[in-house]
Structure 1
Amino acid sequence: MAGDSSKLTKSLRRVLIKVEQLTKQNSQFHLIFAINYSRKSDVTQACKSIAHRVKDSLIHPEDIDEELIEKELATSCVEFPCPDLLIRTSGELRLRNFMLWQLAHTELYFTQALWPDFGKTEFVKALRSFQQRHGPYGSPND
């Protein structure tokens, strides 16, 4: 999970913890819940963390690269922090400060379906769209 879940009700936080526990052994799909999450805040926090490490002489400025920054982001908790596909529901056509760093090479799928109504049929449509435009890694599509 990325973001700040502290503003959620206790019962909803318990549900999220239970879902994490029930699915932690899943290896086929990775799902990140971004709750009260701001990409700008995440990048700012990563920069502050790196700045403190430079100040404390743990690293040198020339050690700072994309890999180091990615390790400091909230999504570093998963094996593949950069998604292959982002599904944007409810007709929204903007990312709205969401995972800006991680989405650099992500395929985007937009649907009018609202999240509660987004079911198997919509998911299959998104996957078919992704399959039609997604080339192998290293191709001009990446």
Structure 2
Amino acid sequence: MVQLEVEFLMRLFERMIKSELESCKRESIRVSVIGDASKLPKSLQEVIHEAEESTKENLKFHLILAISYGGKHDIAQACRSIARKAKEGVIELEDINESLIEQELETKCTEYPYPDLLIRTSGELRISNFLLWQLAYTEFFFAQKHWPDFGEDEFVEALTSFQQRQRRYGGQN
């Protein structure tokens, strides 16, 4: 049963990308997908590639879709990439720092890879392996409502809560 559900969701996602691609082009929306694409059906991989290629010059908005994405996998693939570069002599061990790791994460596709605010719906109080590195200084807002019921009132509440916070980015004051 679970496999049928996953296949249905993948086909649904593929149809959604195809149906919205012209709108993204018209509205100058760049589409990027982060995650382990090798786990996706080939037809979906092809649709994703087409969407990314045909919108890569769009500058008005940037839509980033996390599909088959996991924060642990993201960090591991960044480490593998860095290790490969060190083995090939492209970098020295002393070159490895936070900045280099950040350049290898999947969110390198965007100018703004670090969310200021994460809104977690459904009463969950965890981040569920999502953007583990990128959320280091992110503010969190936990909402009881499930995503389909999360509306404008809840969004305004999250933004109001965010506005009242003192951002310290890891500092004490």
Equivalent pair of 2:79/2:101 in contact (CA under 8 Å): yes
User: 5+ residue gaps in structure 2?
Assistant: 1-8, 31-58
Q: Residue 18 of structure 2 aligns with which residue?
A: 14
In structure 2, distance between residues paired with 1:41 and 1:90: 24
User: Normalized against structure 2, the TM-score is what?
Assistant: 0.67
Distance 2:149 2:137 in 1: 27
Secondary structure, in 3 states, of the residue corresponding to 2:64? coil
Cα distance between partner residues in 1 of 2:83 and 2:20: 32
Q: What is the CA–CA distance in structure 2 between the aligned matches of 1:76 and 1:35, rounded to whole Å?
A: 16
Which residue of the partner structure matches residue 92 of structure 2? 60
State the distance in 2 between where 1:94 and 1:138 align. 20
Name the counterpart of 1:133. 165
Partner of 1:112: 144
Task: Give the CA deviation at 1:62.
Answer: 0.5
Q: Distance in 1 between matches of 2:120 and 2:75?
A: 22
Q: Give the counterpart of 1:70 among 97, 102, 106.
A: 102
Q: 1:108-128, CA deviations, whole angstroms, 9 ceiling, x for partnerless residues?
A: 000012112222211111100
CA distance in 2: counterparts of 1:115 and 1:12, whole angstroms: 19
Counterpart residue number, 1:39:
71
**Over residues 36-78 of structure 1, what are the superposed CA-to-partner deviations in whole Å (9 max), with x where a residue is unaligned?**
2100100000000001101110011100110110010011111
Structure 1's 124 and 8: CA in aligned 2 closer, same or farther, altered over 3 A? same
Number of matched pairs: 133
Partners of 2:96 and 2:90 in 1: how far apart?
12
SS at match of 1:32: strand
Residue in 1 aligned with 2:60? 26
Bigger helix fraction: 2
User: Secondary structure, in 3 states, of the residue corresponding to 2:119?
Assistant: strand
- Could you list the runs of 4 or more consecutive aligned residues of structure 1 that deviate by over 6 angstroms after TM superposition? 136-139
Structure 2: how far apart are the matches of 1:118 and 1:76?
A: 29
- Percent of aligned pairs with the same amino acid: 53
